[in-house]
Structure 1
Amino acid sequence: MATHTAFHSAQVSRLVPFNRAHALLYSVAVLAALHRRLAALLAPATLLSISVSLPLLLADLVLAFMWLTYQALRWCPVRRRDFPDRLALSVDPKDFPAIDVFICTADPHREPPMSVASTALSVMAFDYPTDRISIYVSDDGGSEITLFAFMEASRFARYWLPFCKENGIVVRSPEAYFRSSNGGDSEKMKLQMMYQTMKEKVETALERGYVGNDLVSSQEEAEVFKRWKGLPSHDHPSMIQVLLDTSKDTDIMGNALPNVIYVSREKRPTSPHHFKAGALNVLTRVSSTMSNGPMILTLDCDTYSNDPRSPLRALCYFLDPALSPDLAFVQFPQIFQGLNKNDIYACEVKRLYTINPRGKDGLGGPNYVGTACYFSRRSLQGTPSSTSLAPGANDPLSSESVLRKAHEVASCTYEPGTKWGSSIGFRYGSLSEDYHTGYHLQCEGWKSVFCYPARPAFLGDVPKNLNDVLSQRKRWCVGLFEVAFSKCCPLTFGTVKASLLVGLCYAHEAFWGSWCIPITIYGFLPQLALIYGIPLFPKVSDPWFYLYAYLFFTTYGQDLLEFLAADGTMGRWWSDQRMWMIIGLTSYLFGTVQFVLKKFGISAQGFNVTSKVMEDEQSKRYEKGTFDFGVESPFFVVLGAVATVNLSSLVLGIARAATMEGGFDELFVQLFLSAFVTANCWPIYEAMFLRSDEGKLPRNVTVISLALAGFLHCIGYLIFHN
């Protein structure tokens, strides 16, 4: 089935019949395996059989549930194409809607201010009427250095924007452009020197911890920074500064510049700030009082524009009269720059950002993933009359009346008693505010579109050391569980408010953390039984063996085919499935524990910003494809223990099988499982025993891992030793 309009088209994947036929056959195999496992549990029981069969049944039930929910994502995947050239010929640019761009940052030490400013410059230079672009940067760190960086960037924009447009530059982030382009004419060299000088000034301020008078360019700027002195980041009034005003500021060619507004919302220790969702809601309200663009683009601080025509691609859908009444947002995929050859940490997250959205697109649209997303303001805020924040027709941005209103809506006292965060704006109640917001919008009847052009519309950065990756995924796990175990659980609320398939799609992601159950059980239990020659699976000569072989190889085979079809490689697929196991044993396990403890009021960790700063030695290791274990993290204790248990069980298991009559026949599945996990754990063995660089596993972490592995072997002895 295909649909086609003047500005876009959609094609249902040809794999749909295969996916559905395979799902039917696979479901029969899953039911047979569960029946066998249940029968083993209900048979005349011994302590050994119960202690083995019960956790294996639990693991299999979770695997079956996660497989079932994932079939909704394979039910009707869609590929879309858009035609911005047709749009440009059919619609006068004067009729294009205004766009308000939201960029959030929180910590100048972990999110370099010049990188954030470079992101803003890349969208200021869109191929779009500049008087219809407004950039709002939310600085939750309340940092004068971030404001200084944007002041400098605003001056640089006067030269940068005309340079990009006159020379047809496509990569309009100056940081990315100067990094990837060497040499050039005098104009380019001059701009590069200007940018480098600006960057050095900001880095000097960052090293000092303040903006000195020797760095600012005018007395007016110096007066601005005086207001920042002594204001703690966690307790200060709202601070709003108009840096560029399109009604009066122009570039060196006399063309209007976009609006640029710096916002640091009011922060009080006694008022909940709701992390990024709270910052986005403040930007939504502040922008309503100042520019009130009907379209909103949300960007992470490191996600720069890689295609200046992305607004036109979004308009291909927003200006379709058949789609626009119910269209909440157009989501572009998150694509990342600087990944090493095999993406060792699987930061591409291909399923979340490219494969799964196509599956959801056939069921009403993809989810919001936090960045690279164009919203209809109506979907977040309702009609203008429902908010009463729109500015006066002739009020300039810097007018006293507009700024007074903007400060009012950025205060801590504005939201209490309103529906902000519940049914208006970005939704509260989860650390994964993007998932929560997109899910609620779809349950309210809104639709979305996944726009995946050949050239990535946006490029971002990813954490490039293992501990940061695992910490980020743990935060996702907790946030998703907060939705899964709420009154809005996708299995109940979602299936009723949206549809059965949509509810299953969102349930698959909401219960990601449950992967820790089967991965942990299958990472230890069969291996410990192997050491003592206790078979837990059918022997090779048993017909049931082929059932398990079918389940294993078709699962991994279909996963590989989907990954390769999404422009993946074998090397990156191996990294992806290896990281799935690593994350299951660490991020999901610790995230699940943290969520349970939080539910009981025992502990509650706050939101942590993922660092975008990388040391030179870390960068070199990453480029070589070498894992970085150089911090003392409890994540690595678990990884070291599972690696040790699997290696020892493989060696002892081979020895056990060789001394047993028919040992290899009976223990083949467990030997294969141990060998498979051991192969995936090679980087861990290197870090524990073979490496001497700073990225190796710290000695005390290795010792604790070995001690934990020894403890697990003792438990195995108590359970399996006759």
Structure 2
Amino acid sequence: MAVLHSHHIHPRAMLNRLHFFFYSAAIIALLHRHIAVISLATMSSLLLFLADLTLAFMWLLSQGFRWRPILRREFPHLLPQETDHHLPPLDVFICTADPIKEPPESVVSTALSAMAFDYPSDRLSVYVSDDGCSDLTLFSFMEAAKFARYWLPFCKKNSVMERSPEAFFENRNTVGEAGEMKVLFEGLRERVKAVVKRGYVDLNLVDSSEEEIFLKWKKFTHRDHPSHIQVLCESTKDRDIAGHPLPNLIYMSREKRPASPHHFKAGALNALLRVSEVMTNAPVLLTLDCDMHANDPGSPQRALCYLLDPDLVPNLAFVQFPQKYQRLNADDIYGGELRWIFPIASRGLDGQHGANFVGTGCFFSRRSLYGPPSAATAFYYESKSRSFLRSESVLQKAHDVASCRYEHGQDWGYQIGFRYGSLVEDFYTGYQLHCEGWRSVFCNPDRPAFLGAAPRSLYDSLVQNRRWVLGLYEVAFSSYCPLLYGTRKASLIMGLCYMRYALWAVWCFPITVYALFPQLALFYDKPLFAKVSDPWFFLYAYLFLASYGQDFIEFMEAGGVIRRWWSDQRMWLIRGITSSAFGTLDFILSKIGASSPGFNLTSKANDEEVNTLYDKGKFFFGTSSPLFIFMGTIAIINLTSFILGIVKALRSIGALDEMFIQLLSCGFVVTNMVPVYEAMFFRNDIGRMPRSVTNASILFTITFFCVGRMIS
């Protein structure tokens, strides 16, 4: 077989290592200075020492990503064309849970984009897990199955690249055959939206043969129901309008009972894993988020450039593509690109045991989910009959493995399948696989393989991050702590990298300290840092500029632009004082039994006013939340101290020399908080900061300075 891929170490690896040694020496010097004056420490200086210690620890953990980054390239055109019909079968998993927060018309587009892969139809199966057990979602996919008969041949005939109809028809003037296709799709969307708005399926809208299916939904709730499996397309029987077989399309809602734990998305994926094993048992699996549609119909072939490599097969678990998003505004105000994760950190992990699993856009070797490499044979799978998906025996067995009782007494979720024990089941699963000896690959082609929808309101973005924080802490403080278990089972650097992810939110402590206490000291004329005329000042300057400089260079090198880099670092600051801080508090409270963290979906629904403000680059607040109160308080504290500090510097000789670093710290926060000040004091649109939040922030600011006065 021809060489299907290549890789080389990033040329910046040596510079990263050189930077590591210089920066380490500077950190040691800074900590030594802290210790030398610890006897004179006030509360503020003690907190600053602890903050610097935390920053140093997090910086050390992050160096694993920069030690040996890998750049890869695939050559899918070298896959022999005559072997198309010998390509391994592929099962695609799509999970959805709420037809309100995850609009079915978008989920349908995701499924259709996967059905339209440039892949043999008789070897492609798309499974949809509906964890909300909604008749609205089933109806939507029944409509999708009918539309697929027209959409799939249209895409292949016209070599369409954007095979999500929602993405293809957006902002596009279509005529001729494309225009006719758009009319069909708009009809599908209107029927689906009408059903969702009504809240139930009108039996007058379905065929008489389908009435009995929807009547069942009247007998149960989404929290208490039996399993439901519906084969909507079967490749051996169903054809498109050109006479070609359609890929399999299977709807599944696993059984749920209030007394049985369902383990959120990990439980849904494991049910899909078992049901697909009964029905098609493809050796290659693709996991997709419901809003992450396929943007490159040839992405399976890219993944197979690695999954068919005999040198990699024995211990290759998965091929991870980056998460990328469409319709981001010009400045990407909420940092949706996640460029530090993709591709910077992912390339770094790829240089170790491989990129981590991020829940979507990931091609798995099925056997990796059933045990360590030593327990599996190379790319082996037991062929299943694909001719009788609707047969009573196959469906009965599928219902059995989708029952909530099936996992009792078994290793599912602990030694087999997608792993339980964390809200971030993707991160936990990939970590466990690497500890078992599996490897992975990060595949980052020029054309994004998959595109999704990023949150368009600040609140949704922070809620999503808060959920990640909680799940990552669950891994960090488990018996599988990456710093202990991971460094032994995988490697030292791999363990450090996973620990850096697991302690994602620890940044909240140093960020909060630096956003509050230098400002308080500045307000009351208490110097905390070296003067500009002191040689130690240059150490602080180097540490700040070198850190931010490296971040800027990496971001730009990864294809970013300056405005988006500024948004990215601003969101790092905002997340640190909001979702990371509150996620940390959630975790602490859950551990002492004071609260029980839940799982909240991020809304994928579109709101016209939210979208309009987002497209204009305006932050959308629009709701009263403790997250915003804390952020608003910090914003006002820094603005107050900065203004007062500038006045004192202009009026007092030597004040600027003495207070320069504190003024710089305040000014940095103030500059980043400009959108917050606008929303608090200058905007009148629906996305402005609620007046109650502004008033509460002012009150907390006054309280902070009063308490600070008593302490000082």
Question: Smaller-chain TM-score range?
Answer: over 0.9
Classify the secondary structure of the residue corresponding to 2:285. strand
C-alpha contact (below 8 Å) 2:174/2:182 kept by paired residues: no
C-alpha contact (below 8 Å) 2:319/2:441 kept by paired residues: yes
C-alpha contact (below 8 Å) 1:537/1:670 kept by paired residues: yes
Moved more, 392-401 or 16-25: 392-401
Give 1:281 deviation, angstroms: 0.4
Q: Quick one: which of 565, 569, 573 aligns to 2:557?
A: 565
Amino acid at match of 1:25: F
| Partner residue in 1 for 2:205 | 215
Q: Quick one: which of 555, 568, 592 aligns to 2:547?
A: 555
| Partner residue in 2 for 1:500 | 492
Residue 392 to residue 304, structure 1, CA distance change in 2 (3 Å): closer
Within 1, Cα distance between the matches of 2:2 and 2:686? Answer: 56
The yes-or-no answer on 1:701 pairing with 2:693 is yes
The yes-or-no answer on 1:172 pairing with 2:169 is no
The yes-or-no answer on 1:533 pairing with 2:530 is no
| Partner residue in 2 for 1:517 | 509
Give 1:633 deviation, angstroms: 1.0
Residue 538 to residue 384, structure 1, CA distance change in 2 (3 Å): closer
Classify the secondary structure of the residue corresponding to 2:479. coil
| Partner residue in 2 for 1:224 | 213
The yes-or-no answer on 1:94 pairing with 2:85 is yes
The yes-or-no answer on 1:17 pairing with 2:6 is no
Classify the secondary structure of the residue corresponding to 1:328. strand
Classify the secondary structure of the residue corresponding to 1:262. strand
Within 1, Cα distance between the matches of 2:15 and 2:104? Answer: 49
Amino acid at match of 1:155: K
Amino acid at match of 1:128: Y
Classify the secondary structure of the residue corresponding to 1:538. coil
Residue 654 to residue 489, structure 1, CA distance change in 2 (3 Å): same
Give 1:191 deviation, angstroms: 1.4
Within 1, Cα distance between the matches of 2:50 and 2:191? Answer: 58
Give 1:390 deviation, angstroms: 6.4
Within 2, Cα distance between the matches of 1:590 and 1:300? Answer: 26
| Partner residue in 1 for 2:33 | 36
C-alpha contact (below 8 Å) 2:52/2:510 kept by paired residues: yes
Give 1:226 deviation, angstroms: 1.1
Classify the secondary structure of the residue corresponding to 2:218. coil
| Partner residue in 2 for 1:204 | 194
| Partner residue in 2 for 1:371 | 360
C-alpha contact (below 8 Å) 2:435/2:490 kept by paired residues: yes
C-alpha contact (below 8 Å) 1:124/1:133 kept by paired residues: yes
Moved more, 406-415 or 375-384: 375-384
C-alpha contact (below 8 Å) 1:116/1:301 kept by paired residues: yes
Q: Quick one: which of 126, 135, 142 aligns to 1:135?
A: 126
The yes-or-no answer on 1:347 pairing with 2:336 is yes
C-alpha contact (below 8 Å) 1:290/1:391 kept by paired residues: no
Q: Which residues of structure 1 form unaligned runs of 5+?
A: none
Amino acid at match of 2:175: G
Within 1, Cα distance between the matches of 2:662 and 2:118? Answer: 58
The yes-or-no answer on 1:181 pairing with 2:172 is yes
Within 2, Cα distance between the matches of 1:442 and 1:412? Answer: 28
**What's the % identity of the aligned pairs?**
55
Amino acid at match of 1:445: G
Give 1:36 deviation, angstroms: 0.8
Give 1:57 deviation, angstroms: 1.2
Classify the secondary structure of the residue corresponding to 1:459. strand
| Partner residue in 2 for 1:651 | 643
C-alpha contact (below 8 Å) 1:532/1:656 kept by paired residues: no
Residue 469 to residue 207, structure 1, CA distance change in 2 (3 Å): same
TM-score normalized by structure 1? Answer: 0.96
Within 1, Cα distance between the matches of 2:680 and 2:45? Answer: 33
Amino acid at match of 2:640: S
Give 1:355 deviation, angstroms: 1.2
Within 2, Cα distance between the matches of 1:57 and 1:237? Answer: 56
C-alpha contact (below 8 Å) 2:227/2:402 kept by paired residues: yes
Within 1, Cα distance between the matches of 2:180 and 2:22? Answer: 65
Q: Quick one: which of 218, 233, 250 aligns to 2:222?
A: 233
Q: Deviations over 1:387-435 (max 9, x none)?
A: x996854761111111111111111101111111011100000001110
Amino acid at match of 1:123: A
Within 2, Cα distance between the matches of 1:518 and 1:288? Answer: 48
Amino acid at match of 1:643: A
Q: Quick one: which of 679, 688, 692 aligns to 2:684?
A: 692
Q: Deviations over 1:476-516 (max 9, x none)?
A: 00000000000101100000000000000101110011111
Within 1, Cα distance between the matches of 2:544 and 2:191? Answer: 56
Amino acid at match of 2:116: A
Classify the secondary structure of the residue corresponding to 1:103. strand
Within 2, Cα distance between the matches of 1:80 and 1:160? Answer: 33
Within 1, Cα distance between the matches of 2:630 and 2:573? Answer: 12
The yes-or-no answer on 1:429 pairing with 2:421 is yes
C-alpha contact (below 8 Å) 2:530/2:536 kept by paired residues: yes
Residue 392 to residue 359, structure 1, CA distance change in 2 (3 Å): closer
Within 2, Cα distance between the matches of 1:393 and 1:621? Answer: 52
Q: Quick one: which of 221, 242, 254 aligns to 2:243?
A: 254
Q: Deviations over 1:217-271 (max 9, x none)?
A: x111222111112320000000111111111111111111111110000011111
Within 2, Cα distance between the matches of 1:206 and 1:390? Answer: 40
C-alpha contact (below 8 Å) 1:288/1:391 kept by paired residues: no
Q: Deviations over 1:54-73 (max 9, x none)?
A: 21111011100110011100
Give 1:189 deviation, angstroms: 1.7
Within 1, Cα distance between the matches of 2:699 and 2:158? Answer: 62
C-alpha contact (below 8 Å) 1:245/1:397 kept by paired residues: yes
Within 2, Cα distance between the matches of 1:189 and 1:569? Answer: 36
Within 1, Cα distance between the matches of 2:196 and 2:85? Answer: 41
Q: Quick one: which of 434, 444, 449 aligns to 2:441?
A: 449
Count of residue pairs the alignment pairs up: 707
Amino acid at match of 1:170: M
| Partner residue in 1 for 2:275 | 286
Q: Deviations over 1:544-583 (max 9, x none)?
A: 0000000000100010000000000000000000000000
C-alpha contact (below 8 Å) 1:443/1:497 kept by paired residues: yes
Q: Pairwise mapping of residues 308-319 of structure 1 onto structure 2 (< 5 A)?
A: 308-319=297-308
Classify the secondary structure of the residue corresponding to 1:449. strand
Q: Deviations over 1:655-697 (max 9, x none)?
A: 2333433111010000011011101010011011111111111
| Partner residue in 1 for 2:149 | 158
Q: Pairwise mapping of residues 388-467 of structure 1 onto structure 2 (< 5 A)?
A: 393=385, 396-467=388-459
Q: Quick one: which of 93, 108, 125 aligns to 2:116?
A: 125
The yes-or-no answer on 1:66 pairing with 2:53 is no
Within 2, Cα distance between the matches of 1:604 and 1:103? Answer: 28
Within 2, Cα distance between the matches of 1:384 and 1:67? Answer: 38
The yes-or-no answer on 1:480 pairing with 2:485 is no
Root mean square deviation, CA, Å: 1.5
Amino acid at match of 2:70: V
Give 1:615 deviation, angstroms: 1.2
C-alpha contact (below 8 Å) 2:280/2:386 kept by paired residues: no
Q: Which residues of structure 2 form unaligned runs of 5+?
A: none
C-alpha contact (below 8 Å) 2:286/2:364 kept by paired residues: yes
Amino acid at match of 1:591: G
Give 1:182 deviation, angstroms: 1.1
| Partner residue in 1 for 2:606 | 614
Within 2, Cα distance between the matches of 1:591 and 1:467? Answer: 14
Within 2, Cα distance between the matches of 1:570 and 1:200? Answer: 41
Within 2, Cα distance between the matches of 1:177 and 1:279? Answer: 29
Within 1, Cα distance between the matches of 2:224 and 2:467? Answer: 25
Q: Deviations over 1:454-483 (max 9, x none)?
A: 100110001110000000000000000000
Within 2, Cα distance between the matches of 1:39 and 1:577? Answer: 32
Amino acid at match of 1:201: R
Q: Pairwise mapping of residues 656-695 of structure 1 onto structure 2 (< 5 A)?
A: 656-695=648-687
Classify the secondary structure of the residue corresponding to 1:227. helix
